[in-house]
Amino acid sequence: MSLEIMMKKVTIRKLAASAVLVVGTFAASQASAVAITLPNSDFETGTLSSWSTIGSVSASASTSVTTFDNTVWSIIAAQTTMGALQSNGSSVTDIESALGIAAGTLNALNTNPNGGSLTNGSALYQAFAGLTGDTLSFAWNYVATDYIPFNDPSFAVLIGPGGSVDVLASIHGLGVPVGTSGNSGWQNYTGTLGADGNYTLAFITTNDKDQILDSWLFVDNVAGTCQPNCPPVGVPEPGSLALLGLGLVGMRLRLRKVA
């Protein structure tokens, strides 16, 4: 066997070994990813223990929300209790500051076709540590008591290495657009960690243009029910899903600063 042929065979073996090592490393990293369960993620303590809050937030059972035109939505927890956020009690500037988010981050995703500016709101958040690929999953339900041209968006914010901001719902902007006096129904949120590190998961709901007719955001570990005519559990329609990949102009805004 010539020296040239022998060298080629050795090279091929090295490449094959390298490929096995890469695949093995990738498989190991994938296998290590887990679904994280935060303390009191189902709120069945009947309290907000393990969570921090800003503004008007409570642990609530069935809650009836009446809109400006006297539409009544009854939102019911999966078991006995859920987190309930009403968009009053703190300025959006103070919420961003408390969470370590750059000023204007939330308003940049308030895509109100009529123009607007976020005024006040509330936040529910919890710190935790995780590894690359780990996930957190929650169910949420958004109710608007206001009407177009107001927008009143709600958000899920994953603060940490490679964190993100997702618009969950609004009256007529990004996320699930519910319309005047609308209800999103119970929807699913999943956040995936982009790197090992310390994180904070925050849910936020806000007012746009004024501070009069509040938005509501309900959070639970799994979907509850709502009456009357609760839309089915699901995710944003395809037109909204397409926005997820558009970076700064889409539903997801990457955070450049880690708190």
Q: What is the DSSP string of 98-147?
A: HHTPPTTTTGGG---TT---EEEEEEEEEEEEE-TT-EEEEEEEEEE-S-
CA angle, 229 then 232 then 235, to 5°: 140
pLDDT in tens, 13-33: 444 444 444 444 444 444 578
Strand partners, 166: 156, 252
Helices (H), the chain: 3-32, 92-99, 238-241
Predicted TM-score (pTM) above 0.85: no
Express each pLDDT in 68-121 by its tens digit. Answer: 999 999 999 999 999 999 999 999 999 999 999 999 999 999 999 888 999 999
Q: Which residue has the higher pLDDT, 44 or 25?
A: 44
219-251, pLDDT tens digit by residue? Answer: 999 999 999 877 765 444 332 332 233 233 333
- The confidence band for 42, taking pLDDT boundaries of 50, 70 and 90, is very high
